[in-house]
Amino acid sequence: MTIASERGIDLFHFDELLTPRERALRDKVRAFCNEHVLPIINDYWERAEFPFELIPRIAELGIVGGTIQGYGCPGFSSVEVGLIAAELARGDGSVGTFVGVTSGLAMGAIAACGSEEQKQRWLPAMARLEKIGAFALTEPYVGSDAAHIRTTAKRVSGGYLLNGAKRWIGNATFADVIVVWAQDEETGRIGGFLVEKGTPGYRATKIEGKIAKRSVINADITLENVFVPEENRLPLARSFRDTANILKNTRYGVAWEAVGHAQAAYELALEYTLQREQFGRPIAGFQLVQQKLVHMLGDLTAIQLMAWRLSKLRDEDESQITEGMASLAKQYCAAKARQIVALGREVLGGNGILLDRHIARHFADIEAVYTYEGTNEINTLVVGREITGIAAFV
């Protein structure tokens, strides 16, 4: 992906808000995507296969583990983690999701709720991508109402037996450790359990027929009397509140992911309009095309700044980030990115539905971003509850 006109990309000098270290990290991830992801990803996306060949190269970047301090993790700021998420999505959403599931959700759960022994065992190897993680919360009949999952954990001698089902679980067919959330039959509270690869009774089946994020492998999971030893229960995961905190802390990353898809669409559309000629001139010279580009850039600038500001606040004091703030960022950025990508595809006309132009992939993938980590509607109502004090849903 090349940029036809730098002057039309960063009209409000967003780069000047970033430190030299942040810009260097962003540029490193962007160069990786340009060199290693973009040349191969369309073929993998079309075949609905994950490019496992990229895993060692991703490990070399040293980006897995996000803001986690120690245990071989990079200890990045929230802004740096956001920039990484945006650049990976700018390259490909499936690759970004693969990293986000291991780095943000699975490692984040172990870091926040795990014992010291669990952290020492899993986090360094996962930071090197020698071990891959998955995060199993969503269920076939329980999506937005995650506080009422049906998977159960029954205490038995030496540990627990897990029974239930999960759906849409990224990396689950090949992950080395799966963070499974289940309702403790004794207490009625939700807890986290580390299910290791190869555990009897655990089965993950790839979901076929997706039209978005085709390269990331999502799975249906069944759990039939899966034995989890006592030492594999996350000791600090005592209720759904702990689960919700992990989701809150990853939601800002999804806002940045939306920024990445939107930025790719805008850059691709701008470049195309400057090169594509109709009626004897580049289509960038026509009023209706310029109107679309202006709308795209305005919305892109707005969501960039929102995501950046939320991350800066998180770096200053994570405790000041409310559920409403995280939900507003995810809801607004994803909704605006969806519009930006749609306009970008429109600008490319018929070429916009071809994979070799890349924008078709973003056009499909943004639908997944718009839906996961809380649907647009649920995130809207979370914000509504915070600003009015009245819950519109139970």
pLDDT value of position 316: 94
Give the integer Cα–Cα distance in Å for 150 and 181: 10
The per-residue b/e assignment along 90-123, b for 16 or more CB within 10 angstroms, e otherwise, is bbbbbbbbbbbbbbbbbbbbbbbbbeeebbebbb
Query: Quick one: pLDDT at residue 2?
Result: 41
The per-residue pLDDT for 241 is 87
Mean pLDDT across the stretch 237-259? 89
pLDDT band at 243 (very low <50, low <70, confident <90, very high): confident
Q: How confident is the model at residue 144 (pLDDT cuts 50, 70, 90)?
A: confident
User: In this predicted structure, what is the pLDDT of residue 1?
Assistant: 42
Ranges of CATH 1.10.540.10 domains, the chain: 6-127
Predicted confidence at residue 248, as pLDDT, reads: 83
How large is the angle between the packed helices 359-371 and 323-347, nearest 10 degrees? 150
Residue 234 pLDDT: 97
Decide: 73 and 102 in contact? Cβ < 8 Å.
no
Q: Name the average pLDDT for the chain.
A: 94
Question: Is the distance from CB of 142 to CB of 136 less than 8 angstroms?
Answer: no
Judge whether 333 and 255 are in contact, CB under 8 Å: yes
**pLDDT confidence bin for 7, thresholds 50/70/90:** low
Mean pLDDT along residues 342-364: 96
Assign a CATH topology to domain 240-388: Butyryl-CoA Dehydrogenase, subunit A; domain 3 (1.20.140)
Helix, strand or coil, per DSSP, at residue 170: strand
Which superfamily is assigned to 6-127 in CATH? Acyl-CoA dehydrogenase/oxidase, N-terminal domain (1.10.540.10)
Asked whether the beta carbons of 267 and 297 are under 8 A apart, the reply is: no
At 5, the pLDDT band (50, 70, 90 cuts) reads very low
CATH H-level, domain 133-232: superfamily: Butyryl-CoA Dehydrogenase, subunit A, domain 2 (2.40.110.10)
Instruction: Report, in angstroms and rounded to the nearest whole number, the Rg of the chain calculated over CA atoms.
Output: 21
> Which pLDDT score is estimated for 266?
97
Give Cβ neighbours of residue 39 (< 8 Å, ≥ 6 apart).
Answer: none
Res 42 pLDDT > 80: yes
In this predicted structure, which of 244-248, 288-292, 366-370 has the lowest mean pLDDT?
Answer: 244-248
Res. 335 pLDDT band, cuts 50 70 90: very high
Task: Read off the DSSP letter of residue 101.
Answer: I
Distance from C-alpha of 138 to C-alpha of 157, rounded to nearest angstrom: 28
How confident is the model over 163-175, as pLDDT tens digits?
Answer: 999 999 999 999 9
CATH 2.40.110.10 residue ranges of the chain are: 133-232
Pairing of strands 177-184, 133-136: parallel
CB-based contacts of 105, cutoff 8 Å, min separation 6: 133, 135, 179, 246, 250
- Band (pLDDT 50/70/90 cuts) for residue 237 is very high
Q: Please, is 305 exposed, middle or buried when counting C-beta atoms within 10 Å of its C-beta (0-12, 13-18, 19+)?
A: middle
Predicted confidence (pLDDT) at residue 382 exceeds the cutoff of 80: yes
The pLDDT tens digits for 178-232 are 999 999 998 889 999 999 999 999 999 999 999 999 999 999 999 999 999 999 9
Tell whether the model's pLDDT for residue 145 goes beyond 90: no
Whose tokens are 């014992």? That residue is: 115
d(CA 239, CA 285): 57
Instruction: Using DSSP, state whether 172 is helix, strand or coil.
Output: coil
Q: What integer is the mean pLDDT of 242-260?
A: 90
pLDDT of residue 142: 81
Query: Residue 250: its pLDDT value, please?
Result: 84
d(CA 296, CA 133): 35
How high is the pLDDT of residue 6? Answer: 52
Please state the separation of Cα 286 from the chain's center in Å. 36
Task: Give span(s): CATH 1.20.140.10, the chain.
Answer: 240-388
Query: 71: which 2 tokens?
Result: 């245990």
List the structure tokens of 48: 């609905």
pLDDT band at 8 (very low <50, low <70, confident <90, very high): low
Neighbours of 190 (CB within 10 A): 24
Q: How far is C-alpha 126 from the geometric centre of its chain's CA atoms?
A: 17
More confident: 308 or 244: 308
| pTM, rounded to two decimals | 0.94
